[in-house]
Homo-oligomer: A and B are copies of this chain.
Protein backbone atom coordinates (compact mmCIF):
# COMPACT_ATOMS: atom_id res chain seq x y z
CA UNK A 1 0.00 0.00 0.00
CA UNK A 2 1.26 3.43 -0.92
CA UNK A 3 1.77 5.99 1.85
CA UNK A 4 0.78 9.61 1.32
CA UNK A 5 2.07 13.01 2.41
CA UNK A 6 -0.14 15.17 4.66
CA UNK A 7 0.42 18.81 5.58
CA UNK A 8 -1.45 20.51 8.45
CA UNK A 9 -0.82 24.24 8.43
CA UNK A 10 -2.49 27.57 9.25
CA UNK A 11 -2.75 29.79 12.31
CA UNK A 12 -5.47 27.88 14.19
CA UNK A 13 -5.33 25.32 17.01
CA UNK A 14 -5.31 21.70 15.88
CA UNK A 15 -2.18 20.99 13.85
CA UNK A 16 0.05 19.12 16.32
CA UNK A 17 -3.13 17.90 18.00
CA UNK A 18 -4.27 16.29 14.73
CA UNK A 19 -0.87 14.66 14.30
CA UNK A 20 -1.28 13.08 17.75
CA UNK A 21 -4.83 12.00 16.87
CA UNK A 22 -3.56 10.40 13.65
CA UNK A 23 -0.86 8.61 15.64
CA UNK A 24 -3.45 7.27 18.07
CA UNK A 25 -5.63 6.03 15.21
CA UNK A 26 -2.61 4.40 13.56
CA UNK A 27 -1.50 2.47 16.65
CA UNK A 28 -5.12 1.44 17.19
CA UNK A 29 -4.85 -0.23 13.79
CA UNK A 30 -1.61 -1.97 14.80
CA UNK A 31 0.70 0.43 12.95
CA UNK A 32 4.03 1.79 14.18
CA UNK A 33 4.56 5.54 14.45
CA UNK A 34 7.67 7.70 14.72
CA UNK A 35 6.83 11.18 16.01
CA UNK A 36 9.64 13.72 15.54
CA UNK A 37 9.24 17.13 17.12
CA UNK A 38 11.19 20.06 15.78
CA UNK A 39 11.23 23.43 17.47
CA UNK A 40 8.54 23.16 20.08
CA UNK A 41 9.33 21.81 23.50
CA UNK A 42 5.96 22.23 25.15
CA UNK A 43 4.15 18.99 24.50
CA UNK A 44 4.72 17.40 27.88
CA UNK A 45 1.31 15.81 28.32
CA UNK A 46 1.36 14.01 24.99
CA UNK A 47 4.84 12.72 25.73
CA UNK A 48 3.70 11.51 29.13
CA UNK A 49 0.66 9.81 27.57
CA UNK A 50 2.76 8.19 24.84
CA UNK A 51 5.46 6.97 27.22
CA UNK A 52 2.92 5.64 29.69
CA UNK A 53 0.34 4.09 27.39
CA UNK A 54 1.44 3.88 23.77
CA UNK A 55 4.61 1.84 23.25
CA UNK A 56 4.04 1.70 19.48
CA UNK A 57 4.70 5.43 19.17
CA UNK A 58 8.36 6.45 19.31
CA UNK A 59 8.61 10.14 20.13
CA UNK A 60 11.77 12.24 19.84
CA UNK A 61 12.45 15.93 20.29
CA UNK A 62 15.18 17.73 18.36
CA UNK A 63 15.90 21.08 19.94
CA UNK A 64 13.65 22.60 22.54
CA UNK A 65 13.41 26.20 21.37
CA UNK A 66 10.16 27.96 20.83
CA UNK A 67 11.43 30.94 18.74
CA UNK A 68 8.42 33.13 19.21
CA UNK A 69 10.41 35.58 21.27
CA UNK A 70 13.97 34.79 20.32
CA UNK A 71 15.97 33.75 17.29
CA UNK A 72 17.49 30.28 16.99
CA UNK A 73 21.09 29.86 18.17
CA UNK A 74 23.74 27.85 16.26
CA UNK A 75 23.11 25.06 18.79
CA UNK A 76 19.40 25.03 17.86
CA UNK A 77 20.27 24.88 14.17
CA UNK A 78 22.67 22.04 14.81
CA UNK A 79 20.11 20.07 16.84
CA UNK A 80 17.47 20.46 14.14
CA UNK A 81 19.91 19.42 11.39
CA UNK A 82 20.96 16.32 13.31
CA UNK A 83 17.28 15.60 13.91
CA UNK A 84 16.42 15.84 10.24
CA UNK A 85 19.29 13.46 9.46
CA UNK A 86 17.95 10.91 11.94
CA UNK A 87 14.39 11.29 10.68
CA UNK A 88 15.64 10.89 7.14
CA UNK A 89 17.02 7.45 7.90
CA UNK A 90 13.82 6.52 9.76
CA UNK A 91 11.75 7.58 6.74
CA UNK A 92 13.88 5.60 4.29
CA UNK A 93 13.99 2.51 6.48
CA UNK A 94 10.35 1.51 6.07
CA UNK A 95 10.32 0.38 9.70
CA UNK A 96 7.53 2.80 10.61
CA UNK A 97 4.12 3.00 8.96
CA UNK A 98 3.72 6.67 9.85
CA UNK A 99 6.35 9.35 10.46
CA UNK A 100 5.34 12.74 11.86
CA UNK A 101 7.58 15.78 11.35
CA UNK A 102 5.92 18.07 13.86
CA UNK A 103 6.59 21.79 13.31
CA UNK A 104 8.88 21.08 10.37
CA UNK A 105 7.33 24.09 8.59
CA UNK A 106 8.41 26.33 11.46
CA UNK A 107 11.89 24.84 11.33
CA UNK A 108 12.09 25.83 7.65
CA UNK A 109 10.61 29.26 8.39
CA UNK A 110 13.32 29.94 10.99
CA UNK A 111 16.00 28.48 8.71
CA UNK A 112 16.87 25.62 11.06
CA UNK A 113 17.11 23.56 7.90
CA UNK A 114 16.29 24.33 4.30
CA UNK A 115 13.10 23.58 2.43
CA UNK A 116 15.05 21.66 -0.19
CA UNK A 117 16.58 19.44 2.52
CA UNK A 118 13.11 18.75 3.93
CA UNK A 119 11.67 17.96 0.50
CA UNK A 120 14.56 15.65 -0.29
CA UNK A 121 13.98 13.71 2.93
CA UNK A 122 10.28 13.30 2.17
CA UNK A 123 10.78 12.32 -1.44
CA UNK A 124 13.16 9.55 -0.43
CA UNK A 125 10.61 7.93 1.86
CA UNK A 126 9.88 4.22 1.86
CA UNK A 127 6.91 3.72 -0.45
CA UNK A 128 4.41 2.56 2.18
CA UNK A 129 5.30 5.16 4.83
CA UNK A 130 2.71 7.85 5.56
CA UNK A 131 4.25 11.27 6.22
CA UNK A 132 2.62 13.95 8.39
CA UNK A 133 4.07 17.48 8.42
CA UNK A 134 2.74 20.22 10.68
CA UNK A 135 3.35 23.89 11.37
CA UNK A 136 2.32 27.35 10.25
CA UNK A 137 3.65 28.86 7.06
CA UNK A 138 3.78 25.70 4.91
CA UNK A 139 5.81 26.72 1.84
CA UNK A 140 4.00 26.44 -1.46
CA UNK A 141 6.55 23.96 -2.85
CA UNK A 142 5.65 21.62 0.01
CA UNK A 143 1.93 22.06 -0.62
CA UNK A 144 2.57 21.14 -4.24
CA UNK A 145 4.19 17.80 -3.44
CA UNK A 146 1.73 16.94 -0.64
CA UNK A 147 -1.26 14.69 -1.27
CA UNK A 148 -3.47 16.14 1.47
CA UNK A 149 -3.33 19.65 2.89
CA UNK A 150 -5.58 21.12 5.57
CA UNK A 151 -5.36 24.72 6.67
CA UNK A 152 -6.31 25.13 10.33
CA UNK A 153 -7.78 28.60 10.28
CA UNK A 154 -8.27 30.54 13.48
CA UNK A 155 -11.84 31.85 13.61
CA UNK A 156 -11.74 32.61 17.32
CA UNK A 157 -9.13 31.94 20.01
CA UNK A 158 -9.37 32.31 23.76
CA UNK A 159 -5.75 33.52 23.90
CA UNK A 160 -7.19 36.78 22.59
CA UNK A 161 -9.36 36.96 25.71
CA UNK A 162 -6.27 36.54 27.90
CA UNK A 163 -6.63 32.81 28.60
CA UNK A 164 -3.17 31.32 29.06
CA UNK A 165 -1.94 27.97 27.74
CA UNK A 166 -3.06 25.21 30.10
CA UNK A 167 -1.50 21.84 30.90
CA UNK A 168 -3.57 19.03 29.40
CA UNK A 169 -5.20 21.36 26.85
CA UNK A 170 -2.38 23.21 25.06
CA UNK A 171 0.64 21.24 26.28
Chain A residues at the B interface, C-beta cutoff of 8 Å: 1, 4, 6, 8, 10, 12-22, 24-31, 43-50, 52-54, 97-98, 130, 143, 146-158, 161, 163, 166-169, 171
Q: Which of the residues B10, B30, B47, B54 comes within 8 Å of A168, measured between beta carbons?
A: B30
19 contacts between A and B (CB under 8 A): A4-B163, A10-B153, A13-B150, A14-B150, A14-B152, A17-B18, A20-B21, A20-B25, A21-B24, A25-B171, A26-B45, A29-B168, A53-B53, A98-B168, A143-B156, A147-B163, A151-B153, A151-B155, A152-B152
The SS class assigned to the A binding surface is mixed
List chain B residues, Cβ under 8 A from A16: 21
Q: Can you name the residue of chain B whose Cβ is closest to the Cβ of A15?
A: B14
| Chain copies in the assembled complex | 2
- CB pair A28 B48 closer than 8 Å: yes
- CB pair A150 B148 closer than 8 Å: no
